[in-house]
Structure 1
Amino acid sequence: MTAPTERADTERADTERVDLSVVIPAYNEEERLGPTLDAVTRYLADNESRFGSWEVIVSDDGSTDGTREVAALQHPRVRLVAADRNRGKGNALRLGVAASSGGRVLVTDADLAAPIEELERLDKALSEGSAAAIGSRAVPGAEIADHQSLLRELLGRAGNLLIRATAVPGIRDTQCGFKLFDGDQARAAFADSRLDGWGIDVEVLQHLHRNGLPIAEVPVRWSHRPGSKVGPLAYPKVLADLARLRLRRLRPADVLVAVLFLALSITLYSGRFFDPDHRYLTDSLQDQNQWEWFFAVTADSVAHLRNPLFSDLQGFPDGVNLMANTAMLGVSVPFAPLTLLAGPAVSLSVCMALGLAATAVAWYWLIVKRVVRHLGAAFVGAALAAFAPPMVSHANAHPNFVILFMIPLIIDRALRLATGTRVRRDGIVLGLMAAYQVFLGEEPFLLAALGMTLFALAYAAVRPEEAKEAWRPLGKGLLIAGAVCLPLVAVPLYWQFKGPQSYHSVLHGDNAGNSPLSLLAFAERSLLFGNAGRANELALNPTEQNAFYGWPLILVAFGIVVRLWERPLVKALAFTSVTAAVLSMGPKIRIPLTEAVYPGPWALVRKLPLFESVIEGRVAMVCAPVLGILLAVFLEKVLATQRIGTVYFGLLAVALALLPILPAPLKAQQREAVPDFITSGMWKSYVGKGESLVPVPLPDPGYAEALHWQTTADLGFRLPGGYFNGPYGDNRIGIYGAAPRYTSDMLRDVRYTGKVPVIGKNWRAQAKQDFAYWKAGVLVVAPQPNDDKLREAVDALTGKSGKWTGGVWVWDLHGGS
């Protein structure tokens, strides 16, 4: 940054150090500066016995009025330094403090909103060992004489709250312009500053905080002064300045890590990423159609101010409880503009690629902050946490298990609570984070909480003294977090569990746990040793390969635990990983190559609320970040040694553990074309207001291409059936798809078997009843396996032949059937 030109309008006769320097930044302060200087110089002259020798420096920021002349005519101890042009308060303070020679430096605004007499309070705090004493309007004992207008005050409080959330821990009022510093620390802090605007107050305090220097926040008297330069946009400017500052201070290595993670994510999704409208992830089964529908319906709700928690666009006429499904409002709402602009396929593709990269960056940040200092070791650990085989498996189809960037942030905030330094503030922030994570994904949040609980119990067992000190602030902070989170999520959660189309639990069968062999085997998308047949024998489907870490990684992890067993962190991580792996095997653990079956610990929790809907095999995903952290700890230790052999064999072991599970890009294929009947808008002449378009067979979790039709048609028609979670029966048990009806079941059987039952009077009567229930306007059979048999069945049910139009067969139901 080019330094501004400055000049001294009043030269000092000597360069002797003084006890106190008062720096007053000024820009066009001709009217207010004179009385302020009179008050300051008179007070300091009268109190030299307390404050010692002093000087006043007016730092002019390129004023265009008579500010400089006013300063030059004042007391002989008043000096002027001036910038060649207006740059901002930060620049003026930097110039003024650099010109100071005081053992202490007071900065105060030209309006003297905090009276100079308040210096006594700040001086007392500085004398007690603080490096800075800042005047505050937000701590007990502060007095505000003349308030601002209500609007300015509300804007100021909101802005200050946002600044506090990103500024210096524990400081409530960073922007009061009355601060006293140790002189040398002030000159160092302001010299290190880069901001020219209002944000310099926060920047300087952050400098002191980073260097471990104590800061005292002192209550002062304060009154609003007319003509204040702080306008409604001042706080947004501060936030913008702080954001720019953080970007400037990013280490090149951190930027490189983020770029590498983004490149890895895009490579993984390369089969779809560059043409999402026409490419489909093969192993997503029907989930890509479902998630694009979620993004489309959310964007439509945002655009038309509809309830984002419910829709009857599929599952018509009953509808879909979106909160009881994984609609991920935490990303689908922010991505609504992109969805409306480019379509749900593009929006989902970008969201998943960015989300996976952001998750990796978040794990990297946590590992660097809490575990290791070596950036390379942290990169390897974060890469495993985000790109481990189970994460890649879910990357095919489940954004809620890919976009997990909040989980490392939540872990960090919980660890802060355990220190007991800022329990209330950290509790509030944790509550806000938890509320947001609820709208990103409740099941991964539950699994993360399970993993954190296992770790906490293990760490408490090996470090009981630390646990004894931590449990009270942690418990208090969690209570505060709950008090913040619950009001924010109460209505959505009530809607989820008690609202329309809510359900009690989703049944996944008795074989949703992992085989012990799956922990040692290789996933389908493992680049070197992937075997689709073997992987699918050990998993529910390609999107649920929830373990598959490979025996080399498990072997290396075991060696790391044995080698570093003396570390409490390693003991806690080992317990967490082993326990999560065992839990993931389900309520019954089948011993491979034998007929032996033993009860698993999952049986103890499987029927508890929330846990009853969890696919237990997913608990093994907890192992991904745990193994990543173990690798990071091991790598840092290996790289810190001076022995070449240790480094070589340590790196070789990690390479041999990771190379077999490197992921190949996800499989993609050409997407099934949407019929011209839909894309051209022909459907509009068949579907009246309040009616539905009925694909034959109805869309379901096995084949939901009709959802793609619907999003292509900008959600212009409703569909019966669909792919979602909804209730079934009087007990409202959760099932995948709409509650079946006789006609929908029969048509589905025809598609998959190619056999048409004898359709007589009873079947036609039932079909008429079901068509009426769906409020069907038109039946549509697209080209598909056994479409000739489907046409035969529909002809018999309706009593008329279908019409070929727009690439599909249609049966217009208006006028009877």
Structure 2
Amino acid sequence: MRHAVVAAVCLGASVWVTCGLWADPFGRTVAHNEGDHAFFEWLLGHGVRIVTAGADPFRTDLLNAPGGVNLAANTSITVYAVVFAPLTRVAGPQISYVVILTLNLAASAFAWYLLLRRHAVRHRAAAVLGGLFCGFAPGWISHANGHLNWTAGWLAPVVLGWVLRWRTPTRRWLRDGVVLGVLLAAGFLTAAEMLMQIALATGVFLIVWSCGRGTWPRARAAAPTAFAAAGVGALVAGTLLAYPLYLHFAGPGSFRGTAFRQRFFAEDAAAFLVWPDRSVAALLGVQRGDLAPNPTEGTSFFGAPLLVLVLAGTVLLWWRADRARKALMRALTVVGVLFAVLSLGPRLRWLGEEYDIALPYASLTGLPLFDAALPGRFALTVVGVIGTTLALLADRLLRHPPAIHLRVLAGAGLALALVPLLPAPVLTVERTAEPRFIADGTWKRFAADGEVITALPHGSAVAPDAQRWQAYTMARGGRQFRIPEGYFLGPGGRNGAGRVGAPGRRTGGMWTRTAVTGHAYAIDNRDRYTVRSDLAYWKVRALFVPDRIIGKDGVMFRAALVRTMTELFGPGERVDDVLLWRVRPGIDPMPVPGDGPDGPPRPTD
């Protein structure tokens, strides 16, 4: 019963954080990361095709026609896509998205509570405090801006809790190994980069903990069965992940490294000392959110009072502690300091200015796995260290209450450290309503199953509608169209690294810039030749513009886009609530009399 009460508290807090999306799941999107929100909705729609049509979970030709996309090299959340496919089929990707986001945050807090209650503290209140911090720390609230993978913080306590069972010798090493292998496979297919951090942090923690004078005999006695279980786990996970691992590292559309600059997506050292921009502190006007790379990647922002409290608490927990407690605090401290330093990236940054001071991550950037990780996210592991320390400190104060004046001082310290960090709801904005042309299936009159039809502008981070609406048709089942380009990770970056989206073609860039800026192109026959070539490459059968377009930065310039399309193809035909232009084989954009193909070179992307 008490566990149920804690679970309800965690769920209530999670609903509070996501209430902006719950208010209108079909008409609102996260304000700071529309591209990722749309991409995860697309993956959820693809999950219905996996279950009902036997589609490949790790590769698709529906995006980026005609080349397709390697989904194994993206953040595919395959487990969520399949498990929630029934809900997606019935209610749509919009509902599945907000349900998963809400459950992620609540499950993270509750799983940490259970882990701390079982392995670390005696008092339930202490475990609740630590669990709520671990589930709703600033880093997780930041990633709630669009990330279904990086809000799955429950993975860490679940994996760690299973591994901690091995501290004592057990004869069930085969069963333990099989369960671990399944957990690792599920973790990889939910949040691969997070699983790498969990594995690294768990390994460091266990090595440091095992080397303690009071814990070495236990570790040595448990080592044979622990290594046997770990070996079985690696074998099971490797077997289950053989195909996605091949695609991820060597399959068509794979790439090495990351599509993002690691020096940019690293923590500013000063960010550890200030408060986040979605918190009580922000409502009081005492935050400094501009130190994050963007609103989704603010993974530290603990505030100076909390760091002082954790430092003082660590010293207190060491003082007069037995060998077992010292071994635990030693392991926590090493993991916390190590991951905090790694989160700073290759170069030191302070208050927005980068200094030519190499940090440990600089020696790791060329190593496999580390070359594809974003350093700033290592600060999320520090959240678990701080939450555990808070739980241990609260447990000690509850078991051995100090004098009344010290209790008041401790309560005031906890309030000063934690109240400013209480989360505010994730910001949301309006998004374009799904046109009847898509919702009613009218599009089927203009494209056969598997043919290419697309909204304008093409799907991208700044204008995700085309990709989002394709997700909704996938969720409904039946015939399906393909779209050119899209928002995903793929090859084509510098020196063989990845990039966001497909290598740009001039036509798609022209339509996107027109919608974003309102700039009206002076179309000539060179443009028409380029458009004709790009349409032939994509094999597009129809193009359409909805009555209203909302992109990342607000309402887009529909009139300018329609004017450009009219210059290219003539007036569009009204079909339901869109303007549509058919693209038939052999029919070119309308030429301009007297304007030949030769002339001054046109700007290119």
Structures share a fold, TM > 0.5? yes
1:454 aligns with 2:211: no
CA distance in 2, matches of 1:470, 1:363: 24
Equivalent position of 2:257 in the other structure: 505
Task: Decide which of 351, 359, 365 is 2:108's aligned counterpart.
Answer: 359
Secondary structure in structure 2 of the residue aligned to 1:399: coil
594 and 814 in structure 1: CA distance in 2 versus 1, 3 angstrom threshold:
closer
Equivalent position of 1:610 in the other structure: 369
Task: Decide which of 763, 776, 780 is 2:540's aligned counterpart.
Answer: 776
Cα offset, 1:382, TM superposition: 0.6
Secondary structure in structure 1 of the residue aligned to 2:178: helix
Q: Answer yes or no: is the 8 Å Cα contact 1:301–1:307 preserved in 2.
A: yes
CA distance in 2, matches of 1:779, 1:522: 46
Q: Answer yes or no: is the 8 Å Cα contact 2:77–2:190 preserved in 1.
A: yes
Task: Decide which of 232, 251, 276 is 1:523's aligned counterpart.
Answer: 276
CA distance in 1, matches of 2:185, 2:352: 45
1:739 aligns with 2:503: yes
Secondary structure in structure 2 of the residue aligned to 1:718: coil
Cα offset, 1:320, TM superposition: 2.0
1:549 aligns with 2:319: no
1:491 aligns with 2:243: yes
Cα offset, 1:658, TM superposition: 0.7
Cα offset, 1:592, TM superposition: 4.0
Task: Decide which of 560, 579, 588 is 1:789's aligned counterpart.
Answer: 560
Q: Answer yes or no: is the 8 Å Cα contact 2:259–2:493 preserved in 1.
A: no
CA distance in 2, matches of 1:473, 1:649: 46
Equivalent position of 1:264 in the other structure: 13
Letter in 1 for 2:454: V
535 and 771 in structure 1: CA distance in 2 versus 1, 3 angstrom threshold:
farther
Equivalent position of 2:417 in the other structure: 657
CA distance in 1, matches of 2:538, 2:353: 50
Task: Decide which of 174, 178, 182 is 1:428's aligned counterpart.
Answer: 178
Equivalent position of 1:748 in the other structure: 512
**TM-score scaled to structure 2, two decimals?**
0.88
Task: Decide which of 571, 583, 598 is 1:813's aligned counterpart.
Answer: 583
Cα offset, 1:752, TM superposition: 3.1
CA distance in 1, matches of 2:500, 2:13: 33
Structure 2, unaligned stretches of length 5 or more? 320-325, 550-555, 589-605
The Cα RMSD (Å) is 2.4
Letter in 2 for 1:792: R
What aligned pairs does 1:236-635 form with structure 2 within 5 A after superposition?
252-422=1-171, 423-463=173-213, 465-466=216-217, 467-509=219-261, 510-529=263-282, 535-566=288-319, 567-592=326-351, 596-635=355-394
588 and 532 in structure 1: CA distance in 2 versus 1, 3 angstrom threshold:
farther
Cα offset, 1:460, TM superposition: 4.0
Task: Decide which of 762, 765, 775 is 2:526's aligned counterpart.
Answer: 762
More moved, 745-754 vs 624-633:
745-754
Cα offset, 1:506, TM superposition: 1.8
CA distance in 2, matches of 1:595, 1:526: 27
Q: CA offsets, 1:289-320, max 9 Å, x none?
A: 11111101111221112222222222122222
CA distance in 1, matches of 2:132, 2:352: 34
CA distance in 1, matches of 2:474, 2:532: 29
Secondary structure in structure 2 of the residue aligned to 1:333: helix
452 and 388 in structure 1: CA distance in 2 versus 1, 3 angstrom threshold:
same
CA distance in 2, matches of 1:531, 1:695: 42
Secondary structure in structure 1 of the residue aligned to 2:580: strand
Secondary structure in structure 2 of the residue aligned to 1:396: coil
Cα offset, 1:755, TM superposition: 3.0
Cα offset, 1:472, TM superposition: 4.5
What aligned pairs does 1:676-715 form with structure 2 within 5 A after superposition?
676-714=436-474
Q: Answer yes or no: is the 8 Å Cα contact 1:310–1:323 preserved in 2.
A: yes
Secondary structure in structure 1 of the residue aligned to 2:241: helix
Cα offset, 1:272, TM superposition: 1.4
CA distance in 1, matches of 2:498, 2:35: 18
Secondary structure in structure 1 of the residue aligned to 2:426: coil
Q: How many residues align?
A: 565
349 and 413 in structure 1: CA distance in 2 versus 1, 3 angstrom threshold:
same
Letter in 1 for 2:455: P
CA distance in 1, matches of 2:562, 2:23: 37
CA distance in 2, matches of 1:317, 1:717: 12
Letter in 1 for 2:578: V
Equivalent position of 1:668 in the other structure: 428
Secondary structure in structure 1 of the residue aligned to 2:388: helix
Cα offset, 1:347, TM superposition: 1.4
CA distance in 1, matches of 2:543, 2:465: 15
Q: Answer yes or no: is the 8 Å Cα contact 1:641–1:647 preserved in 2.
A: no
Q: Answer yes or no: is the 8 Å Cα contact 2:44–2:471 preserved in 1.
A: no
CA distance in 1, matches of 2:295, 2:579: 33
658 and 297 in structure 1: CA distance in 2 versus 1, 3 angstrom threshold:
same
Task: Decide which of 548, 570, 573 is 1:803's aligned counterpart.
Answer: 573
Secondary structure in structure 1 of the residue aligned to 2:579: strand
Q: Answer yes or no: is the 8 Å Cα contact 1:363–1:405 preserved in 2.
A: yes
Cα offset, 1:793, TM superposition: 2.9
Q: Could you say which structure has the greater relative contact order, defined with CA pairs below 8 angstroms and 6 or more residues apart?
A: 2
Q: Answer yes or no: is the 8 Å Cα contact 1:635–1:650 preserved in 2.
A: no
CA distance in 2, matches of 1:298, 1:573: 38
Q: CA offsets, 1:16-59, max 9 Å, x none?
A: xxxxxxxxxxxxxxxxxxxxxxxxxxxxxxxxxxxxxxxxxxxx
Equivalent position of 1:98 in the other structure: none
CA distance in 2, matches of 1:532, 1:760: 53
CA distance in 2, matches of 1:507, 1:310: 19
Q: CA offsets, 1:113-140, max 9 Å, x none?
A: xxxxxxxxxxxxxxxxxxxxxxxxxxxx
CA distance in 1, matches of 2:40, 2:65: 18
Q: CA offsets, 1:547-572, max 9 Å, x none?
A: 11111111111111122234222222
Cα offset, 1:687, TM superposition: 2.2
Q: CA offsets, 1:323-377, max 9 Å, x none?
A: 2222212122111111111111111211221232122211111101110011000
Secondary structure in structure 1 of the residue aligned to 2:32: helix
CA distance in 2, matches of 1:556, 1:432: 38
Q: Answer yes or no: is the 8 Å Cα contact 1:313–1:717 preserved in 2.
A: yes
CA distance in 2, matches of 1:552, 1:478: 40
Q: CA offsets, 1:68-119, max 9 Å, x none?
A: xxxxxxxxxxxxxxxxxxxxxxxxxxxxxxxxxxxxxxxxxxxxxxxxxxxx
Equivalent position of 1:187 in the other structure: none
Letter in 1 for 2:534: D
Q: Answer yes or no: is the 8 Å Cα contact 2:470–2:481 preserved in 1.
A: yes
Q: Answer yes or no: is the 8 Å Cα contact 1:279–1:668 preserved in 2.
A: yes
533 and 711 in structure 1: CA distance in 2 versus 1, 3 angstrom threshold:
farther
Secondary structure in structure 2 of the residue aligned to 1:529: helix
**TM-score scaled to structure 1, two decimals?**
0.66
Secondary structure in structure 1 of the residue aligned to 2:438: helix
Q: Answer yes or no: is the 8 Å Cα contact 2:448–2:481 preserved in 1.
A: no
CA distance in 2, matches of 1:755, 1:671: 22
Q: Answer yes or no: is the 8 Å Cα contact 1:451–1:622 preserved in 2.
A: yes
Cα offset, 1:697, TM superposition: 2.2
